[in-house]
Amino acid sequence: MFIVHNPKVGLRGFVVIDNTALGPGKGGIRLTRTVTLEEVAKLARAMTWKNALADIPFGGAKAGIVADSDVPTRERKAELINAFAQAIRHIVPELYIAGPDMNVTQEEMRIFAETVGNMKACTGKPKELGGLPHELGSTGFGVFHATRVAADFLGLELSDARVAIEGFGNVGSFAGKFLSEAGAKLVGVSDIEGLVYNENGLNYEMLIEARDKRGSVIEYEGKKKILPNHDIIKLDVDILVTAAIPNLIQAHEAGLVKAKLIVEGSNIPMTQKVEEMLAQRGILIIPDFVANAGGVISSYVEYIGGTEQKMFRLVKEKITKNTKMVLERSAETLHTRAAALAIARERVLKKCGWCVDS
């Protein structure tokens, strides 16, 4: 753990390196007014398991910088990131590799890398510095492949599947793109404004046009119904992809879910207790750190200087393999999160039997 304080620029920050058994600790920099050391420590542990389950040679870490406003200006962010990079340059990238997180973008990663003087200091850099842009859709591409494997496990043909997607940002829209290209029928898509629904299917390109040109998927110009966005969890579909808010499904709503398969493209869309309640009903869930690992796999490819083509190939290969492993281990109970955590722990413990606890 490294605590950073620079009173000259008003910097307060910290880096928590949870585990380096598999490689240098990898995790983004969170820049918010409320970020705490405890929060960063929990996220660093989560990154240990996420990187191990993704099967990439990174350990777990996370960093936090305490902002002095809820929406820091670009100039203020640049000042804080520059000072933070100077303060921790002695541990980068041998022990810690940074990345973007809340309020931190590719421009801040440019500053971080240039301040440290090493392009391997962080991922999420601009393309001209060797970055692999978020706009490529690596996370959504991984969510698609996790969905494909899980559907096959259930004996569900994607070309016959009815799909709902909660959230149509980077993750949800790319998951929707690849699913629709595979023949799945998008029947419901939500965003912050509401839920657009058509039991006969929605056109993907028209959804993108509604979002980008008119501000929301509910401005979709084809035949539709407009419902409250939270109704996404109640739709009569085969597959529900979560790709936006945490705690989407509460315990008292578990009985309302009709989907046979839930793929967690978002982080923590429900508690483990809710996941277990749904599993008892025979609903299969692919946990967040299995399904949405495309982003960290892309980070690894950027770190080693790989191409976009290599990134897509590796995301497909690793998420397909890891999803299959999780499903095979949890076939009887459907407790997929426990199975995924067990696999991640085994990979870490194989390298270092004493260096991580539960």
Catalytic annotation, residues: 62
Whether the Cβ atoms of residue 115 and residue 148 lie closer than 8 Å to each other: no
* Secondary structure (H, E, C), the chain: CEEEEECCCCEEEEEEEEECCCCCEECCEEEECCCCHHHHHHHHHHHHHHHHHHCCCCEEEEEEEECCCCCCCHHHHHHHHHHHHHHHHHHCCCCEEECECCCCCHHHHHHHHHHHCCHHHECCCCHHHCCCCHHHCHHHHHHHHHHHHHHHHHCCCHHHCEEEEECCCHHHHHHHHHHHHCCCEEEEEEECCEEEECCCCCCHHHHHHHHHHHCCHHHCCCCCEEECHHHHHHCCCCEEEECCCCCCCCHHHHHHCCCCEEEECCCCCCCHHHHHHHHHCCCEEECHHHHCCHHHHHHHHHHCCCCHHHHHHHHHHHHHHHHHHHHHHCCCCCCHHHHHHHHHHHHHHHHCCCCCCC
Give me the phi and psi of 33, to 5 degrees please.
Answer: -70, -25
Amino acid, single-letter form, for residue 179: L
Q: b/e per residue, 323-338, with b = 16+ CB within 10 A? A: bebbbebbeeebbbbb
Residue 59 contacts residue 22 (beta carbons within 8 Å): yes
Q: Give 53's Cβ-side CA count (13 Å radius).
A: 32
Paired with 3 in beta bridges are: 14
Report how far residue 74's alpha carbon sits from residue 108's, in angstroms, rounded to the nearest whole number.
Answer: 9
